[in-house]
Structure 1
Amino acid sequence: MDASGMNGATAQAFEAMMQQKQARLLPMKDFMALYQNLEFCVNTCADKFLKHSERVGLRFSEQNAEMMARAQQRR
C-alpha cells in the first residue's frame, strides 16, 4: 500500500505510521536471528557433549574389559 492517492497530511501520517511499524519489525528480526543462532549453538553443543559422553563410555568399557582379562589371567 502506498500514500500516492492520499492528501498531503494523510500521506505524511501514513508514512510515519509505516516507518514506526518498520522500526518495530527490525528489532523482532534481530531477536529472531539471535534466537536461531542461539538454538544452533545449543544443538551443536549438545551434539558434541553426547558424542563425548559416548566416547568416554566406550573407553571405560574397554578399560573394564582389559582389567577383567588381566584378572582372569592372574587366576
Structure 2
Amino acid sequence: MTIVRAAAGRPPVHTDDAARVRAHRAKRARIDYSDKPEIAQTIAEIAEQLGVSRNEVMQSLTRFALTNRNWKQVGLYGSKGLQ
C-alpha cells in the first residue's frame, strides 16, 4: 500500500492550468501592434542590454509615454506633426 502525502507549502491557488490562464487574462490585457523593423530591432537590443524581455521594455516605454505627455492637449504627434 502506498501513502500519498500532499506536497509541503501553500495550497494551489488555481484548480488547473486553464483556471490559471483565465485569471491571468482577467488581470492583464494583451496589446499587439506592428512597427518598422528598425524599431523592433531597437526594442530587442534594449531588452538584451538590460537583461529583460521585450514585453518589459514595451511596458516601460508605454508607462513613460503615458506619464510624461499630455496626449489630450498635444495630440498624437504634437504640434509639429512628428512621425
- Using the size of structure 2 for normalisation, the TM-score is 0.25
Q: TM-score, normalised by structure 1?
A: 0.28
Q: Compare the two structures and name the one with the higher helix fraction.
A: 1
Which of the pair has more CA radius of gyration? 1
